[in-house]
Amino acid sequence: MTLKSIAIVGASLAGLNAAVALRREGFAGRLVIIGDEPHRPYDRPPLSKEIVRGDWPVEKAALHIDKELTGAEWRLGCRAEKLDVATRKIWFSDGGAEVFDGIVIATGSAPRRLPGAEMPGVHLLRSLEDAVALRDDLARPGCRLVIVGGGFIGQEVAASARTMGLHVTMVEQVAPAAHVLGHDIAMIMANIHRRRGVDVRLGVAAAAFEGEGRLRRLHLSDGSAIDADVAVLGIGVIPNTGWLEGSGLNIDNGVMCDESCRAAPGIVAAGDVARWPNNRYGEFRRVEHWDNAVRQGEHAARRLLAEAGGVHPGPYAPVPWFWSDQYGLKLQLVGTPVAHDEVRLVFGSGEEERFVALYRRGDRLMAALGLAATGKLLRYRKLLESDPSWEEALAV
């Protein structure tokens, strides 16, 4: 295959890193970066913290554009609406269509919505515009905030709002991020929020949003209600694959790729939208983390170049790494705790708000979680690269 033109669909962190990797690996042809937002790529982690709190101007979230991308074509405020895999033809929202030799799909994900929640005062948080709108709403005098969902975005918004002195209620059906961290660790996180004044309500779900003109009250599944001026929905995301229906790609909770991030001849995927088999853990899933977007974008670029005679990068099998900043505490997770058999605290405690927890599946260490314990967690991050046994991990 000859690669004279490559389209990167998604002006995202993954898309940006794929673009830079293509240039650094020697691709000198036409490079087109397509994004449905009007902005060049920006960093999303500050949206729930520095931007929402008003600590940063929005332009500070912009990602650095390397000099290697001088000459790249940016098509911003333009959506890719359709793809034909056989011809690698893309149709755009502006009415145009083009054929490319290679395509990187990096369209990310979108927040889940709730029916009946489309009213002023109810927010999603994914884009710069979302963060600015939420920031402005939280500045309302006497603002009362309710967060639906206790995932990491919800927890970070709760921490930001409490730092601003706002009244905050968090509603979660189980415990904050329990589907990732396990119930016991999730309850530690719930209690950290409670100690800082968040009204954490577990075992209930949002039932109905009430308000004339804007939100005034949230009704819960147990029959109770919460008075609120602002709500944030943090109930997870779904991959942006709607534009790929009928494309010829295999779509199932993301773009299905092989172990090297290849989705079809001349087409790779990276970031939140990519679902691939990580042979290190025997998993077939998507990873929605900042670090993965960077590394997978680079790997996918090299995999695409391999189709034109470049060096095949082999399987993409990272040890995932994730972090979340709340109340001045850094929570970090390395590895994958999904479907773990046991979680054990090996340092500190929840009451101290400083700990390390290890996750076991079978006789292997699968993940390590640290709160305010960066130095100790780094040892487990190195260890996880060697696929350690549970006994090896406990010996550390």
- Written in H, E and C, the secondary structure of 330-360 is EEEEEECCCCCCEEEEEEEECCCCEEEEEEE
169-173 average pLDDT score: 97
Residue 266 lies in a domain: yes
The answer on 201 and 155 residing in a single domain is yes
CATH number at residue 44: 3.50.50.60
153-158 average pLDDT score: 97
Residue 322 lies in a domain: no
The answer on 183 and 122 residing in a single domain is yes
- For 258-263, which contacts have Cβ atoms below 8 Å and span 24 or more sequence positions? 259/315, 259/316, 259/317, 260/299, 260/303, 260/312, 260/313, 260/314, 260/315, 260/316, 261/296, 261/299, 261/300, 261/303, 261/316, 262/303, 262/304, 263/105
The answer on 285 and 300 residing in a single domain is yes
CATH number at residue 376: 3.30.390.30
The answer on 248 and 215 residing in a single domain is no
Contact predicate 291/297, CB 8 Å: no
The answer on 207 and 126 residing in a single domain is yes
The number of domains in the chain is 3
18-42 average pLDDT score: 97
The answer on 175 and 261 residing in a single domain is no
- Tell me how many degrees the CA angle 356-354-187 measures, rounded to the nearest 5: 80
The answer on 50 and 27 residing in a single domain is yes
Report percent pLDDT > 90 for the chain: 98
pLDDT in tens, 130-142: 999 999 999 999 9
Residue 319 lies in a domain: no
Residue 1: pLDDT over 90: no
Residue 315 lies in a domain: no
Q: What is the pLDDT of residue 337?
A: 95
Mean pLDDT of the chain: 97
Q: What is the Cα Rg of the chain in Å? A: 22
10-30 average pLDDT score: 97
Q: What is the pLDDT of residue 137?
A: 97
Residue 104 lies in a domain: yes
Q: Which of 212, 233, 254 is the last residue of a domain?
A: 233
The answer on 86 and 12 residing in a single domain is yes
User: In the chain, what's the furthest Cα-to-Cα distance?
Assistant: 63
- What is the span of the domain harbouring residue 283? 5-110+237-306
Residue 311 lies in a domain: no
pTM as predicted: 0.96
- Of 333, 373, 350, nearest to 191 by C-alpha is 350
The answer on 12 and 78 residing in a single domain is yes
Segment holding 158, helix H or strand E: helix 152-163
pLDDT in tens, 228-270: 999 999 999 999 999 999 999 999 999 999 999 999 999 999 9
164-190 average pLDDT score: 95
The answer on 184 and 36 residing in a single domain is no
9-35 average pLDDT score: 97
312-335 average pLDDT score: 97
Residue 212 lies in a domain: yes
Q: Which of 233, 267, 298 is the last residue of a domain?
A: 233
Q: Which of 233, 267, 282 is the last residue of a domain?
A: 233
The distance from CA 374 to its chain's CA centroid, rounded to whole angstroms, is: 21
Provide the sign of the torsion angle of the four alpha carbons 107, 76, 69, 91, taken in this order.
Answer: positive
Strands 354-361 vs 342-349: parallel, antiparallel or unpaired: antiparallel
Q: What is the pLDDT of residue 395?
A: 94
The answer on 123 and 216 residing in a single domain is yes
Residue 320 lies in a domain: no
Tokens of 221: 């599944």
Q: What is the pLDDT of residue 133?
A: 98
